[in-house]
Amino acid sequence: MNPSLLTTRGWPVAAALSAALGLAACATDVPPPTAQIGASSQAVAAAERANALQYAPVELQSARDKLAAADAAMRADERTKARHLAEQAQVDAELATARSQRAVTQQAAVAVQKQAIPRTSPQSAMTPPPATPSLTAPSTTIAPPLSGGTVPMNNGTSWGSTYTYTPGTYPGAQP
């Protein structure tokens, strides 16, 4: 083959062919992000059901705006831009849902706390709490029966001990 013939006719044809194939590959390289836009739309709807309009309005509005921009980019056949916007819209919607759920949970916890803790009046709040009971009972003196027998007693360490005595065996006893 003649090298000059290849350089004069082959290169321009090869360049045109490669450019056409490159453009065709770019056009079909990025699939339409319909699934991502659908997931973003569902995330926005879930945020709305979670009362995000009340508890996370900024995040919800951001998600709505980005979803609308993703739809517009899709209509303009800007698939990459549409995909990125749809992903951002989904993240914003999920953030709105999480913040809304957190606020609802905090309100429920406060309500439970209010029910669990009785309200005290200012006067009762100032009175000191009652003293904690002692583990040992106070020692008491029990007079023995006159005829003798067993008497339960408390010696300061335990209850339920018994003392057996006979009349006249303790100091000061009368015969």
pLDDT in tens, 129-147: 666 555 555 555 555 555 5
CB atoms within 10 A of CB 172: 4
Task: Give the Cα separation of 45 and 55 in Å (integer).
Answer: 15
pLDDT in tens, 9-28: 555 655 565 665 555 555 55
Task: Give the Cα separation of 8 and 10 in Å (integer).
Answer: 6
Domain boundaries defined on the chain:
22-119, 135-175
| Fold classified for 22-119 | Substrate Binding Domain Of Dnak; Chain:A; Domain 2 (1.20.1270)
Q: What angle do CA 121, 122, 124 make, to 5 degrees?
A: 65
Per-residue pLDDT of the chain (175 residues; tens, 9 = 90+): 455 544 555 556 555 656 655 555 555 578 999 999 999 999 999 999 999 999 999 999 999 999 999 999 999 999 999 999 999 999 999 999 999 999 999 999 999 998 888 766 555 555 666 665 555 555 555 555 555 555 555 555 545 555 555 555 555 555 5
Strand positions, DSSP E, 63-131: none
